[in-house]
Chains A and B, each alone.
Chain A
């Protein structure tokens, strides 16, 4: 007995010390920030060019971003197996070219870069070239003329006119002329905007870039309008009409000219996977200086492809949730239905946010219980009955999504993050528990599971916790050590102090 607890103690001690030591080295030696606050946002942008080959040689040109708007590239990495590859200067920017004599299968090319915005710079000026007026049909011409005249009347200069134009074209019910133009163009509203500006004699260019969103897998290029107002260039968001370059917009390319050219291929697509990391300002600088010789970072989560990084962000939080469950069950003595169901619920909460998640969970389980009680009259075999509950739960989820969408509550759409099968089993178990031990026990166990789930959720959503698990995964080794120690805890549970409360006076 003593030998075994001593062994566990030693192992746990070694694990804890190891994890803390590696983390300490990374903090002191490599300057990784211990707190999420003192950090800089570094975005990992993974570009995916996918296309289907046609006959003959293939040539893919991708215009590379050239550090506009204060964005700095820390690291670039191209994947080009089987392709000839080169990067060359063209005009004012760099172009990456993949080439190959022939290709048989649909292919995806990868280009990964780490970027951060060093300073909030505005975009450089472009030569002011008055655009050629667009070629239009006679009726379009007339509508265009009236539309532009109306805009001119109501604005003081090109900038206000652009904002007004975006507003008019984006209204749910646009004016007659605007609606006619949008209708006859058979193209995006963006095309209409450029033509309206050209018709009004305003110099304008597109600014292409990526709206940065953490965890996005299939983001596409979006476009902003850059307009010359007589003395300065100003940027507008063609969706909202907002002026100025948004902070979370990674500028890829300024001016006309395609970002992607594919010769000898078809159905080409340009997509981006995005992940945000926090690195200290110092680390960012040193990474800039000596990218490539950062041995420990090469073996960190950062070395993984971006999509996996995004998944790992979630997985690395799991041990923390498991830790909460262990503490609650061993030290406090809360009853939960199913050992790790609370963890799964907590993961769902991370996606749905707490209150929405709780509401969805309660609705699903209570309606599920109600339907399950009806199913019990049908005298079905267990597996069939649970499957029936699964289907009912899925239908409920669909109904909930639809209703909430119609009501304009977007958040309830995240209902799909709930683990369906687990939920169905929970409903089944709880209904049996109800029949055998009564509603009180159901409330106790269900309430216990929810309480632990909420605690796990609250722990996981602390920014420091996310930051530490992602940047210092070695701390999980320490956590493992602590869990081993808890596994040898023979003291009383908090709940037992309540359970045996009367024993003291009765002696």
Chain B
């Protein structure tokens, strides 16, 4: 017998469902015309640079098939880089190269590929294989994040990233996504990455979840999530809230990574952030979204919104600490 939970229980907990997210929050707060800046990662990067938001360095863009043959020249002297579709969705089509041995490239998972594989991957991106609606796309090559060693033990074969949901400029909920062996180095929760809910006020861990159940330690590295507390937390919140102002989207997910030298860095934005963050935080979103609406109405500026959010969303007792 499959165990189901009563809708009334979910409603009481304030769990946000897919339909409600789409209609009430995305549909009503995200104007269609503002999607472009989020869906197109080049535009995101450009807009971020204009606002002095830190983003990974862009090495080059491949827009046409003939350029694919010159990809090796573009990668001259680059040992670590990431190739991704400009209009990809859900982390699809992202190829991470961590080091290089002549014409052989080593993927984050440890697999070795050659120039031919790189070219094939790039032309797949150009043909629109990983893009929304399958339309033609461009590929961008950017610097690999040199991620903060403080977090290294929490992720296996991949970069841990921090997802912050921002509603009307107010940071509402946050989690860190840690790649595992099961998730193949990807930070996708449904593939088996660990989601760690984070306290909005101070950036320490609240709960950690893998495949929907609570965990206390990373399954591969054995690191304990209880002691996790993110450095530069205020800068992370500041960056996430700035993204909302930059895009004009009312309901937004900002993916942020911590770079060793450059601090919090915007990786990408998402106009349709997923619902798993509720499981990682062991809390529903609806209640917090209601409070955020109130904050957005009363707080006069960017800093006030963050200050209020830190005050109202502080979780004194974390699940992990119990």
Q: A: which residues have CB within 8 A of B?
A: 1, 330, 333, 379, 381-383, 432, 436-438, 488-494, 496-504, 506-507
The answer to whether A497 and B5 touch across the interface, beta carbons within 8 angstroms, is yes
Contact with A along B5-22 (1 / 0, CB 8 A): 111011101010111100
A370 and B2 alpha carbons, distance in the complex (Å): 34
Q: How far is the CA of A494 from the CA of B5 in the complex (A)?
A: 9
Partner of A333, one of B7, B15, B18, B28: B18
B212, CB-defined interface residue at 8 Å: yes
Q: Within 8 Å CB of A493, what residues of B?
A: 17-19
Are B127 and A381 in touch, CB under 8 angstroms? yes
A506 x B319 contact (CB < 8 A) = yes
Instruction: Given A382-B129, A503-B282, answer yes or no on A330-B19 (Cβ-Cβ < 8 Å).
Output: yes
Q: Which of A491, A492, A497, A500 contacts B279 (CB 8 A)?
A: A500
Determine if B23 and A490 form an interchain contact, defined as CB atoms under 8 angstroms apart. yes
A499 to B116, CA, bound (A): 41
Q: Are B19 and A489 in contact (CB under 8 A)?
A: yes
* B262-318 residues at the A interface, CB under 8 angstroms: 275, 278-279, 282, 284
Q: What are 29 A-B residue pairs whose CB atoms fall within 8 Å in the complex?
A: A1-B28, A379-B120, A381-B123, A381-B127, A382-B128, A432-B130, A436-B92, A437-B191, A438-B191, A490-B24, A491-B17, A492-B7, A492-B11, A492-B17, A492-B19, A493-B18, A494-B4, A496-B10, A496-B15, A496-B18, A498-B4, A500-B15, A500-B278, A501-B3, A501-B4, A503-B5, A503-B13, A506-B214, A507-B282
Please give the number of chain B residues whose Cβ is less than 8 angstroms from any Cβ of chain A in the complex.
40
Q: Which residue of B lies closest to A486 (CB)?
A: B19
Do A500 and B10 touch across chains, with their CB atoms under 8 A apart?
Answer: yes
Q: Using A1-B28, A502-B212 as known contacts, say yes or no to A490 and B20 having CB atoms under 8 A apart.
A: yes
With A494-B4, A504-B13 already in contact, 9 other A-B pairs whose C-beta atoms are closer than 8 Å? A436-B93, A490-B20, A493-B19, A496-B10, A496-B18, A497-B4, A497-B6, A503-B284, A504-B9
Specify which chain A residues have a CB less than 8 angstroms from the CB of B275 in the assembled complex.
Answer: 496
Shortest CB-to-CB span from B229 to chain A, Å, is 22
Q: Closest B-chain residue to A384, C-beta based?
A: B127
Which among B17, B119, B120, B130 has the highest number of chain A CB atoms within 10 Å? B17
- The 8 Å CB contact of B65, one of A381, A490, A492, A506, is A381
Are B24 and A503 within 8 A (Cβ)?
no
Within 8 A of A (CB), among B1-56: 2-7, 9-11, 13, 15, 17-20, 23-24, 28
Q: How far is the CA of A501 from the CA of B20 in the complex (A)?
A: 18
Checking B6, B9, B127 against A383 with a beta-carbon cut-off of 8 angstroms, the contacting residue is B127
Q: Shortest Cβ distance from B179 into chain A, in angstroms?
A: 14
* A382/B282 in contact, CB under 8 A: no
Q: How far is the CA of A488 from the CA of B19 in the complex (A)?
A: 8
Chain B residue numbers with a CB within 8 Å of A503 are 5, 10, 13, 15, 278-279, 282, 284
Once the chains bind, are B2 and A491 in contact (CB under 8 Å)? no
Question: Using Cβ atoms and an 8 Å threshold, which residues of chain B touch A381?
Answer: 65, 123, 127
Name the distance in Å between A270's Cβ and chain B's nearest Cβ: 49
B213, CB-defined interface residue at 8 Å: yes
B3: nearest chain-A partner, CB-CB:
A501
Question: In the complex, which residue of chain A has the Cβ closest to the Cβ of B68?
Answer: A381
B124 in contact (CB, < 8 A): yes
A-B contact count (CB 8 A): 88
Q: How far is the CA of A488 from the CA of B5 in the complex (A)?
A: 23
Smallest beta-carbon distance B224→chain A, Å: 19
Residue of B nearest to A506 (CB): B282
Q: Which residues of A contact B120 (CB under 8 A)?
A: 379
User: With A and B bound together, what is the CA distance between A379 and B116 in angstroms?
Assistant: 8
Q: Which residue of B lies closest to A5 (CB)?
A: B23
Q: In the complex, A438 Cα to B120 Cα: how many Å?
A: 20
Complex CA gap A437/B93 in Å reads 11
**B28 proximity list for chain A (CB < 8 A):** 1
Q: Which residues of B contact A330 (CB under 8 A)?
A: 19
Give the top 6 A-B pairs by smallest Cβ distance, nearest first: A382-B127, A490-B20, A492-B17, A497-B4, A501-B5, A379-B120
How far, in angstroms, from A496 to B20 measured CA to CA in the complex?
A: 12
Residue of A333, A432, A438, A499 near B212 (CB, 8 A) is: A499
A4: nearest residue on chain B (CB-CB)?
B28
Residues of the A chain whose Cβ atoms lie less than 8 Å from the Cβ of B2 = 498
Q: A379-B120, A499-B212, A503-B278 are in contact. Are A491 and B13 (CB under 8 A)?
A: no
Q: Which residue of B lies closest to A376 (CB)?
A: B120
A498: chain B residues at CB < 8 Å are 2-5
Cα separation A263 to B154 with both chains bound (whole Å): 92
With most chain A CB atoms within 10 A of its CB, the pick from B23, B92, B130, B275 is: B23
- Residue contact B65 to A1, C-beta cutoff 8 Å: no
Smallest CB separation, A424 vs chain B (Å)? 13
Nearest Cβ on chain A to B171's Cβ, whole angstroms: 22
- Docked complex Cα distance between A490 and B191 (Å): 27
- CA A420 – CA B124 in complex, angstroms? 22
Interface string of B119-144 (1 = CB under 8 A from A): 11001100111100000000000000
What separation, in Å, do the CA atoms of A496 and B123 have in the docked complex? 37
Min CB distance, A439 to chain B, in Å? 13
Measured between C-beta atoms, what is the minimum distance from B11 to chain A in Å? 8
